[in-house]
Amino acid sequence: MSSIETLMDNLKIELPSWAFGNAGTRFKVFGTPGTPRTIREKIADAATVHRLTGLAPTVALHIPWDEVADYRALGAYAEDLGVRLGTVNSNTFQDDDYKFGSLTHIDKKVREKAIDHHLACIEVMAETGSTDLKIWLADGTNYPGQGDIRGRQDRLAESLATIYQHIGEGQRLVLEYKFFEPATYMTDVPDWGTAFAQVSALGERAMVCLDTGHHAPGTNIEFIVAQLLRLRKLGSFDFNSRFYADDDLIVGAADPFQLFRILFEVIRGGGLDADSGVALMLDQCHNVEAKIPGQIRSVLNVQEMTARAAMVDLDALTEAQENGDVLTANSVFMDAFYTDVRPRLARWRAEHGLPEDPMAAFARSGYQRQIEAERVGGAQSGWGA
Residue 178 in the binding site for ligand PSV (CB under 6 A): yes
Rounded-to-integer distance, Cα 60 and Cα 16, Å: 5
Task: Build a one-symbol-per-residue string for 45-84: x at contacts with ligand PSV by CB under 6 A, - elsewhere.
Answer: ----------------------------------------
CB within 8 A of 135, min separation 6: which ones? 90, 103, 118, 160, 163, 173, 174, 175, 176
Question: Which residue's Cβ lies closest to ligand PSV?
Answer: 136
In the bound state with Mn ion, the residue whose beta carbon lies nearer, of 49 and 210, is 210
CB within 8 A of 197, min separation 6: which ones? none
Residue 211 in the binding site for ligand PSV (CB under 6 A): yes
Residue 89 interacting entry, from ligand PSV, Mn ion, none, C-beta within 5 to 8 Å by type = ligand PSV
Containing H/E element for 359?
helix 358-365
Nearest Cα neighbor of 347 from 2, 8, 1 is 8
Chain positions 87 to 146 lying near ligand PSV, rule: CB under 6 A, are 89, 136
Determine the longest span between alpha carbons in the chain, in angstroms. 64
Task: Build a one-symbol-per-residue string for 129-168: x at contacts with Mn ion by CB under 5 A, - elsewhere.
Answer: ----------------------------------------
Residue 246 in the binding site for Mn ion (CB under 5 A): yes
Residue 211 in the binding site for Mn ion (CB under 5 A): yes
In the bound state with ligand PSV, the residue whose beta carbon lies nearer, of 41 and 211, is 211
CB within 8 A of 130, min separation 6: which ones? 61, 85, 86, 87, 88, 124, 171
Chain positions 299 to 328 lying near ligand PSV, rule: CB under 6 A, are none
Return the residue of 41, 139, 222, 246 that touches ligand PSV, per CB under 6 A. Answer: 246
- Cα distances from 238 to residues 58, 118, 135, in angstroms, run 14, 20, 12
Return the residue of 14, 132, 176, 265 that touches ligand PSV, per CB under 6 A. Answer: 176
CB within 8 A of 254, min separation 6: which ones? 241, 242, 243, 247
Instruction: Give one DSSP letter per residue of 213-227, joined into a string.
Output: TSS-TT--HHHHHHH
The residue count for binding ligand PSV (CB under 6 A) is 8
The residue count for binding Mn ion (CB under 5 A) is 4
Residue 14 in the binding site for Mn ion (CB under 5 A): no
Please give the residue ranges that form the binding site for ligand PSV (CB under 6 A). Answer: 89, 136, 176, 178, 211, 238, 246, 283
